[in-house]
Amino acid sequence: MSRVNTVLGPVAAEELGVVAVHEHIGYGMPGSELDSRWWKTPEERYEETVPKLRRFHEHGRPYGGGTFVDATGICNGRDVDYYRSLSTKTGVHIVACTGFVGGDTALPFFSRASVEYLADQFVHEITVGIGGTGARAGVIKVGVSRGGRMTDLDKRIYRAAARAALSTGVPVLTHLAIDAENAIAIFREEALPLDRVLFGHADDGVNAAKTRDTWIAEQGGRVGFDTFGYETELDDPPFWARPRKERLEHFLRFVERHPGSALASADANCSPLGWPGVKGHTVNYIFEDLMPDLRAAGVDEATITRLFVDDPADFLSIHD
Ligand SMILES: [Zn+2]
């Protein structure tokens, strides 16, 4: 039976329900915990987060559940004991990641690490656990540093992730799908099948035009339309926002041409760390806005189930 590592232990892939494949319980830049203007008490964090996850759980009921993949890297506020408590309280399956959002968010302790060191660290977090929590990571996060080209450290992290993915069977999630030629070259050199990689943020307002989504799909990679809801229609849209209709049409075109290659998510923050976050945007955009938009565009229920239940379950399943 295929299974997925969640923070409360392995779960059968058939029990995941609707999967939000790229989300954040709380994301912050390394060091944001040192800025006292943004400190939150544990109670404040729970108060902001629990209602969103409970709602997600309710929405997921008709689909047999809900799974929240936390794509927060090692230095960006990942807090696994807290995730375990949230999962217990709300019933939402939470998948934690190992890895880094990008080389530029890896703190100095990690920034000179070798591929071997990084791969060992990732494998340990996937097979033994994250610290003393007993929770095993279910995905590996990698990413492209600011500037648009992979740095040497980004490349070491991608190579280490490929090795850890091959030896453990968990998949890789990327922050940004730009500079995909370099990423795919590394994955090929390491012989990681490209359907084990979700190339993320192909749909945001800054990167959509720079991302070769069709080419990535033709190489066998999966493409993440995972910033749904960051739209110019928000009261105070972030710089990576995009008009709602434009993103939706992009997604629909892609799904029609490359069935099985796309995964969708909202990249929302339940309780942002060190920044105010984007008001009015939550993981529940998937149920409350995206699914209705897809239905209105003529997408049938079988396709919706495939997009949000079956394809992500296949992606997240540990390949032994
Ligand atoms: Zn993210």
Element (H, E) at 150: none
Query: Is pLDDT of 320 > 90?
Result: no
Query: Is pLDDT of 1 > 70?
Result: no
From 281, 286, 283, select the one nearest 309 (Cα to Cα): 286
What residues sit around ligand 1, an ion, with C-beta below 5 angstroms? 71, 267
Number of Cβ within a 10 Å radius of residue 162: 25
pLDDT at 120: 98
Q: What is the mean pLDDT of residues 138-164?
A: 97
Which domains are assigned to the chain?
Answer: 3-316 (3.20.20.140)
Buried residues in 218-257 as b, exposed as e (16+ CB within 10 A): ebebbbbbbbbbbbeeeeebbebbbebeebbebbbebbee
Question: Rounded CA gap, 57 and 76, in Å?
Answer: 25
Q: What is the mean pLDDT of residues 174-179?
A: 96
In DSSP terms, which residues pair with 313 in a beta bridge? none
Scanning the chain, the segments in alpha helix (DSSP H) are 42-60, 80-90, 108-111, 115-127, 152-168, 180-189, 213-219, 244-257, 285, 291-296, 301-305, 311-316
Find the 27 Cα to ligand 1 centroid distance in Å.
8
Q: What is the mean pLDDT of residues 226-252?
A: 97
Find the 23 Cα to ligand 1 centroid distance in Å.
6
Q: Tell me the pTM.
A: 0.97
Find the 92 Cα to ligand 1 centroid distance in Å.
19
Q: Which residue has the higher pLDDT, 148 or 150?
A: 150
Q: What is the mean pLDDT of residues 64-76?
A: 97
Question: Rounded CA gap, 16 and 22, in Å?
Answer: 14
Find the 267 Cα to ligand 1 centroid distance in Å.
5
- Average of per-residue pLDDT values in the chain: 97
| Separate counts of helices (H) and strands (E) for the chain | 12, 11
Question: Rounded CA gap, 164 and 162, in Å?
Answer: 6
Find the 201 Cα to ligand 1 centroid distance in Å.
8
Q: What is the mean pLDDT of residues 262-278?
A: 96
Confidence of residue 183 (pLDDT cuts 50, 70, 90): very high
Find the 41 Cα to ligand 1 centroid distance in Å.
23
Tokens of 46: 């729970």
